[in-house]
Chain A
């Protein structure tokens, strides 16, 4: 792996004529965030010789350094951990990286692509300025022609309103704060949310001796492996991960889909509601509210499980049809379909919070980006970002790394490459177009 010396950590002077202490600096493109998405964009811009800087509030891979729990491994296999010009080259392509390994991977990538990262630089505002932008940061302003927002899709935990009515003596945590089970008091734990985060935490916390109640709404059930291969290989092969936003009926609906119920473990375990139930986890409907010190669970659990089972069978049928259509050799025949999700005859609907049974709650109810510093008219009435595959209505402003931005895999590490390549091409064309106009205007 080629490295180019230590990563820059101090402010980089980006052009002649800027004296030390001048806090107003210029560049062509400001990329906000040095996670994998920002780094992939940096590599694409460098390839096009477009001058840019990455502004990062912490260090490269900050989210992985500061916001992940200890036992977490990627749920995507090593072969899928790839970015433009860089991929996993170890001996275990089917394994799953630990968080320190992800940090290492991204550090190596940043060095390999010589990403101009300004660390410890928090972006506080982005505003329009003449034909470009002013990016206000904790370290002064940057002027630029274009901005790429790559600050992450998971900066905040989306916590239901009911959380505010939790009695004060019950510990309440989001997955961004959770590190390990012994951070929690002894006694019962309610994990709200049955997607990747929720099932992983429910499994590890229950095994720590704290009885878990798992509140489950809509979820996407998939097995870790199918017909001899990782499910991610199949999702990739049949084209589901690469499905584009302009190919589906209702991208907004897909953007709201929860993550796959998956865990990356050396044993390639499948965690689903059946495995959790067998472990002793109590599965209930989604948290519907808290009233008079009682938590209420939706009565829709049975249907949520029926929907997930139906979608699972449809997915496996799609894979089987694809295999049949390709005459693939050496693929084992389809195993029996996974056992339908077992739902208690009488799932719990209410739980008295004062009884002492539940001592802590973890809200694994999803993540949201934090774009409170983006002062530009790119939000709709529901405060959702308006964009066409990452291209906003504000010329020169781009988004990267958001759910189903351009493809189903857009938030995955493996999704950044294609998106960054396409958006950097658009960005380059916009810059070229703008300077052409500028030139004509001046020439006239």
Chain B
């Protein structure tokens, strides 16, 4: 309502290159085709419920891009489901992605607002009724029935300013959008 983003050069340093983000924003405003990204994950079954997902390359800024190194995620189910528990469950990976995205956003928005962060931690708790995935009750959804994210943030700012960081981060978060809004998903076999 009043000034949303304070932009004078500040003193806070949260490890975010705000000048780069601003120039990227200007560049992508002028060249929207460079804003078209493609994210890729290659998943391979190992055994049982265990599989690995590999993230290496992606497309963006009108070029092929590569991560600094290859990142591998193991997902599996826990022993209580008679699985080998070689990795986090895929649902937990979703929660990790949500928290990772929101926390990155908190840091970026804090930098933009010249707020020095000292510590940021979040606890993510999601509930689900597994009768959904097990097909016991068709009225129960497979996914989460609810997700609670609770932040503890120590920063040079008022309580309302800190709440505003967390709120703005949700507003700009990709994973928050992915989790709260439907997405067209096409799964095919080659």
Q: Which residues of A contact B (CB under 8 A)?
A: 220, 240, 248-250, 253, 285, 288-289, 291, 296, 298-300, 303, 306-307, 310-311, 313-315, 318, 346, 381-382
Asked if B181 contacts A311 (CB within 8 A), the reply is: no
Say what secondary structure dominates the interface of chain A: mixed
Asked if A299 contacts B167 (CB within 8 A), the reply is: no
Nearest 10 interchain pairs by C-beta:
A299-B180, A303-B170, A288-B181, A307-B167, A300-B180, A311-B1, A289-B182, A306-B167, A310-B164, A315-B1
Asked if A310 contacts B3 (CB within 8 A), the reply is: no
Asked if B171 contacts A240 (CB within 8 A), the reply is: no
A314: which of B146, B160, B180, B181 is its contact (CB, 8 Å)?
B160
Asked if A303 contacts B167 (CB within 8 A), the reply is: yes
- In the complex, 28 of the A-B residue pairs with CB atoms within 8 angstroms, ordered by the A residue number, are A220-B1, A240-B2, A249-B3, A249-B4, A249-B5, A250-B5, A285-B180, A288-B180, A288-B182, A289-B181, A298-B180, A298-B181, A299-B180, A299-B181, A300-B170, A300-B176, A300-B177, A300-B181, A306-B163, A306-B167, A307-B167, A310-B160, A314-B1, A314-B160, A314-B164, A315-B2, A318-B2, A382-B32
Chain A CB within 8 A of B168 CB: yes
Chain A CB within 8 A of B7 CB: yes
Within the assembled complex, what's the spacing in Å between the Cα atoms of A315 and B170? 21
Within the assembled complex, what's the spacing in Å between the Cα atoms of A116 and B57? 64
Chain A CB within 8 A of B179 CB: yes
Within the assembled complex, what's the spacing in Å between the Cα atoms of A289 and B185? 14
Instruction: Give chain B interface residues in 48-98, CB to chain A under 8 Å.
Output: none
B2: which of A300, A306, A314, A346 is its contact (CB, 8 Å)?
A314
Within the assembled complex, what's the spacing in Å between the Cα atoms of A296 and B143? 15
From residue B141, how far is it (CB to closest CB) to chain A in Å?
A: 9
Within the assembled complex, what's the spacing in Å between the Cα atoms of A315 and B3? 10
Asked if B179 contacts A310 (CB within 8 A), the reply is: no
B146: which of A288, A303, A315, A346 is its contact (CB, 8 Å)?
A346
Q: Note all chain A residues with C-beta closer than 8 A to B179.
A: 299
Count, chain B residues at interface, CB 8 A: 21
Please give me the residue from chain A that is nearest to B6 by CB atom. A249
Instruction: Give chain B interface residues in 7-34, CB to chain A under 8 Å.
Output: 7, 32
Instruction: Give chain B interface residues in 163-190, CB to chain A under 8 Å.
Output: 163-164, 167-168, 170-171, 176-177, 179-182
Q: Note all chain A residues with C-beta closer than 8 A to B167.
A: 303, 306-307, 310
Please give me the residue from chain B that is nearest to A306 by CB atom. B167
Q: Note all chain B residues with C-beta closer than 8 A to A249.
A: 3-5, 7
Within the assembled complex, what's the spacing in Å between the Cα atoms of A311 and B118? 25
B163: which of A296, A299, A310 is its contact (CB, 8 Å)?
A310
Within the assembled complex, what's the spacing in Å between the Cα atoms of A249 and B7? 8
Please give me the residue from chain B that is nearest to A257 by CB atom. B1
Within the assembled complex, what's the spacing in Å between the Cα atoms of A186 and B181? 30
Asked if A240 contacts B1 (CB within 8 A), the reply is: yes
Interface centre among B5, B164, B181 (most CB of A within 10 A): B181
From residue B44, how far is it (CB to closest CB) to chain A in Å?
A: 31
Q: A296 and B182 in contact (CB under 8 A), knowing A240-B2, A310-B164, A311-B1?
A: yes
Interface centre among A253, A289, A303, A381 (most CB of B within 10 A): A303
Within the assembled complex, what's the spacing in Å between the Cα atoms of A297 and B180? 8
Interface centre among B3, B4, B146, B182 (most CB of A within 10 A): B182
From residue A118, how far is it (CB to closest CB) to chain B in Å?
A: 40
Q: Note all chain A residues with C-beta closer than 8 A to B146.
A: 346
Within the assembled complex, what's the spacing in Å between the Cα atoms of A311 and B3? 10
Within the assembled complex, what's the spacing in Å between the Cα atoms of A407 and B177? 32
Q: Note all chain A residues with C-beta closer than 8 A to B3.
A: 248-249
Within the assembled complex, what's the spacing in Å between the Cα atoms of A313 and B164? 11
Q: Note all chain B residues with C-beta closer than 8 A to A306.
A: 163, 167
Within the assembled complex, what's the spacing in Å between the Cα atoms of A346 and B145? 9
Within the assembled complex, what's the spacing in Å between the Cα atoms of A155 and B93? 46
